[in-house]
Amino acid sequence: MGVRTRSRELALQALFYMDMHKNIAPEMLERYCRNFKPDDNVMDFFLTLVNGVIERRPRIDEVIDRHSANWKIGRMSCVDRNVLRLGVFELTHLPDTPAKVAINEAINSAKKFGTEESGAFINGILDSVRIELEQGRLDDVENFPGASQTIEPDA
């Protein structure tokens, strides 16, 4: 498994952990890292993903809600919701990741950790976000709100 794929899986698990506890405070990420210490080679991308999603979560959730017909983010499974958050973050904020790669990685995570229907569900939403981005219709992508500092776990 590649470094970025492993980073994505660990980021999904960390976001799932925080989501299940309904707490995205820095202490929760630190606790996750203490208990499930990510290897040094994945730590940078892992932190980029987790911090990026946490910092921009309200805006990311708005984008997901807009693209998911009949499924508000609160009704989605915790796995699907966090796979989508990671996918939208990568599509909108990591230009070095090709859109097809970001979507494919999200689909694979959804298939691995979600339900039988998760892959198709994730694909449909992220592909519609990709199309909107390519057509320049995803307004203010550069202005997704974000915190000024990131979380660096002590572990």
* CATH code (residue 111): 1.10.940.10
Q: Would you say residue 129 lies in a domain?
A: yes
Cβ pair 93, 138 in contact under 8 A? no
Q: Would you say residue 11 lies in a domain?
A: yes
Q: Would you say residue 112 lies in a domain?
A: yes
Cβ pair 4, 45 in contact under 8 A? yes
Digit-coded pLDDT (tens) for 31-61: 999 998 888 999 999 999 999 999 999 999 9
Domain count, the chain: 1
What is the per-residue pLDDT for 146?
45
Q: Is 116 helix (H, G, I), strand (E, B) or coil?
A: coil
Could you tell me the pTM of the whole model? 0.88
Q: Would you say residue 98 lies in a domain?
A: yes
Query: Which domain range does residue 27 map to?
Result: 3-139
Q: Would you say residue 155 lies in a domain?
A: no
